[in-house]
Amino acid sequence: MRLIWLMCICILFLNCEDTHSKKKKKTVTKQTTKEQTTPEKDSISDDTKTYPVLDGLQNAMEFFLEYDKHHKENKVRLTTDFGTIDILLFNETKFHRANFIYLTKRGYFNGTQFYRVINNFIIQGGNSDDKKTAKKRASIGKYLLPTDTNRGYTHERGVLSMPSGEIDNPYKLASPFEFFIVQQHGGAHFLDGDYTVFGKVIDGMDVVDKIAAVKTDEADWPLHNVYIRKAEIIN
C-alpha cells in the first residue's frame, strides 16, 4: 500500500514539472519572435533608402532614370510674393522633368528666391542666401544633369530653362537646383544650344513680368527679396 502511494506522488510531481516546462518554453518563444521583428520595423523607416544622396553625373542619371518610371507628374505651381506661376514640364526632357519634380516633392524650392532678375530678359530662381538652402542641397547631393538641347525647343518667351553644362559665363550656372524663365518679348534665341529648355509657363506670365520689373542692385539681385513661398505638384 505504501509503495502505491509513493508511485502516485512521483507521477503527480512529474506532471507538474512537465507543465511548468511547457509554459516556460512558450514564453521564451514569444520573446524571441518580438526581438526578431523589431529591427525590421526600424529598417523600413530608414529615409536614406528612400532618398539617396546623389553624387556625380552617373549616380544622378541612374536615379532619375528610375525615378522617371514611377513619377509621371509634369505640372508644378510656384507660389511667389507676386502671385502664382503654373509650369508644364516637357516629358521629352525626362531627366530635367524628373529632377524638377523630385526637388519639388523634397520641398527644396520652398523658401528659395528669384535671386537674379533682368527686365526684358530672364528671372532666375532656385537659390537663396539662407543657410537652410545650402543644407537642403547638401542633403540631396552634388550632381549635374546632361545637356539636352536637341528636342526642338527654343528659348521663346515663357519657357523654363536650365544651365546644364560647365560654361564659363555668369549667366550659365551649371546647377540642377536652379532654373530661369525667359521673360523677354520675342524670346532669347541666342541662348539656344547652350541651355536645356524643359518646360513652359502655362499660367502666370503676368506674375513673371511683375517680378522682372522689380528694382535690383548692380548684381541683378532684387533690392527686396522675391521668394518662392511654395512649390507644389498640380493636376
Q: Which residues pair with 212 in a beta bridge?
A: none
What distance, in Å, lies between the first and last C-alpha atoms of the chain? 92
Distance CA 211, CA 205 (A): 10
Note if the pTM is more than 0.95.
no
pLDDT tens digits for the chain (235 residues)? 444 444 444 444 334 444 444 433 333 333 333 333 323 332 223 344 578 999 887 889 999 999 999 999 999 999 999 999 999 999 999 999 999 999 999 999 999 999 999 999 999 999 998 999 999 999 999 888 888 889 999 999 999 999 754 444 443 445 799 999 999 999 999 999 889 999 999 999 999 999 999 999 999 999 999 999 999 999 9
Q: Provide Rg for the chain, Cα atoms.
A: 30
Q: Is 163 left (phi over 0), alpha (psi -120 to 50) or beta?
A: beta
